[in-house]
């Protein structure tokens, strides 16, 4: 008994010493492995940067060089035809601030952006909710809804110009002759209705973009929430307000900001229907830059407007990234 009592502590002490020795030997190996892993990770980062360098160089040449040239041109009076340059300093910006056409085009841009994105948001939500229902041919309809988004802008505008024509347009024919909702045709491209007409064209083309992204968000909403709401007797509106809308709100806000930036910078869908008219009714900032450069033959002043527009877009982009981070955090 005494010998066993003496051997047990000795074995315990020996095992402890062996364990401590093993840990001491394992630490340098772990450090070596960590150093090797860090070395390989640094090499992978370096290799990735080397592979990205040509693409980044091309991107910088394509984007940064025109921006630098535009900033430089904004301080000159440059004739579009002769390319004669005269240094004027900040005069282009001073003239811009007192130009009523600039402020009116900025106001019309705000009307265009708000009208376009709000109408597209409402239409996109409705289309996404319909496509989310369990209906026959749902897959075919989902593919068909995306068709307007893939149509080129020039094709879409020409089609809608024919639909809204005063003489042979389908819209006035349906409203006046078929349904008799109106007594006379609507002058779609007159100053009173021109911006509204452009918003309708944009609504038809870009609503599928909203619907596609909102539909993707609707697919991940747990069905248990709707089943519990139905058991509690919640109506369709209450389910949409307290379940659907909160779930799609992060995605909705991100699309809202992103489409707002695109609409602010959009040229073709605004210019092609009426060339900025009639009577400047659809002259937004993008169209105004074109008029200053090619109608007034002053690239320098147009560059100044473009730089101001760039500053506004940078502010909107900063807001977008801030909202995107918050939405990403809420989604996670």
84 lies in some domain: no
Please count the other Cβ atoms lying within 10 Å of the Cβ belonging to residue 59: 11
- Tally the C-alpha atoms within 13 A of residue 114's C-alpha that lie toward its C-beta: 6
Percent of the chain at pLDDT > 90 equals 14
pLDDT tens by residue, 114-157 = 999 999 999 999 999 988 887 777 777 778 888 888 888 889 89
pLDDT over 80 at 298, yes or no: yes
Q: Which residue would you say has higher pLDDT here, 216 or 4?
A: 216
* Same domain assignment for residues 53 and 105: no
Give me the pLDDT at residue 29, please. Answer: 45
284: domain CATH number is 1.10.3720.10
Q: How many domains does the chain have?
A: 2
* Same domain assignment for residues 280 and 167: yes
pLDDT tens by residue, 167-213 = 788 888 888 888 888 888 888 888 888 899 999 999 999 999 999 99
Give me the pLDDT at residue 203, please. Answer: 92
Q: What is the pTM of this model?
A: 0.76
CA distances from 329 to 32, 130, 251, 259, 326 (A): 37, 28, 12, 21, 5
* Same domain assignment for residues 278 and 218: yes
- Kind and range of the H or E run holding 315: helix 299-331
d(CA 290, CA 296): 9
226 lies in some domain: yes
pLDDT tens by residue, 227-269 = 888 888 888 888 888 888 888 888 888 888 888 888 888 888 8
* Same domain assignment for residues 117 and 265: yes
83 lies in some domain: no
Residue 26 confidence class, pLDDT cut points 50, 70, 90: very low
Q: Which residue would you say has higher pLDDT here, 101 or 328?
A: 101
Q: Report the range of poorest mean pLDDT among 27-41, 147-161, 317-331.
A: 27-41
* Same domain assignment for residues 47 and 98: no
Residue 2 confidence class, pLDDT cut points 50, 70, 90: very low
Closest CA to 221 of 289, 105, 118, 128: 128
251 lies in some domain: yes
Q: Residue 238 sits in which domain range?
A: 91-331
Alpha helices in 100-146 (DSSP H): 100-131, 138-145
Phi then psi for residue 85, to 5 deg, are -115, 135
Closest CA to 215 of 126, 292, 137, 136: 126
* Same domain assignment for residues 131 and 37: no
* Same domain assignment for residues 317 and 214: yes
* Same domain assignment for residues 26 and 167: no
63 lies in some domain: no
* Same domain assignment for residues 174 and 302: yes
Domain boundary residue, one of 58, 73, 104? 58
* Same domain assignment for residues 112 and 242: yes
74 lies in some domain: no
């Amino acid at each position: 008994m005494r010998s066993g009592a003496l051997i047990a502590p000795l074995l315990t002490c020996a095992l402890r010493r062996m364990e401590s020795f093993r840990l001491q030997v394992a630490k340098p190996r772990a450090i070596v492995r960590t150093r090797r892993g860090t070395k390989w990770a640094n090499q992978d980062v370096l290799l990735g940067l080397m592979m990205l360098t040509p693409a980044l160089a091309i991107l910088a040449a394509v984007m940064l060089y025109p921006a630098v040239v535009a900033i430089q041109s904004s301080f000159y009076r440059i004739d579009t035809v002769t390319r004669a340059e005269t240094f004027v300093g900040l005069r282009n910006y001073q003239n811009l601030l007192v130009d009523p056409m600039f402020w009116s085009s900025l106001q019309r841009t705000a009307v265009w952006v708000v009208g376009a994105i709000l109408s597209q948001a409402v239409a996109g939500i409705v289309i996404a909710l319909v496509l989310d229902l369990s209906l026959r041919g749902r897959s075919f309809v989902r593919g068909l809804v995306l068709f307007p988004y893939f149509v080129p802008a020039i094709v879409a505008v020409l089609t809608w110009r024919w639909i809204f024509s005063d003489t042979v347009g389908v819209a006035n024919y349906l409203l006046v002759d078929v349904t008799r909702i109106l007594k006379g045709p609507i002058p779609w491209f007159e100053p009173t209705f021109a911006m509204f007409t452009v918003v309708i064209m944009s609504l038809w083309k870009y609503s599928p973009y909203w619907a596609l992204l909102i539909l993707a968000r609707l697919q991940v909403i747990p069905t248990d929430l709707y089943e519990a709401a139905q058991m509690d007797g919640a109506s369709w509106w209450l389910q949409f307000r307290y379940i659907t809308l909160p779930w799609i709100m992060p995605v909705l806000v991100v699309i809202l900001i992103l489409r707002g930036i695109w609409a602010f910078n959009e040229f073709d869908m605004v210019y092609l229907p009426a060339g900025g008219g009639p009577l400047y009714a659809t002259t937004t900032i993008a169209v105004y830059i074109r008029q200053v450069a090619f109608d007034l033959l002053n690239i320098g002043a147009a560059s100044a407007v473009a730089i101001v527009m760039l500053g506004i877009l940078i502010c909107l982009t900063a807001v977008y990234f801030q909202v995107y981070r918050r939405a990403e955090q809420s989604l996670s």
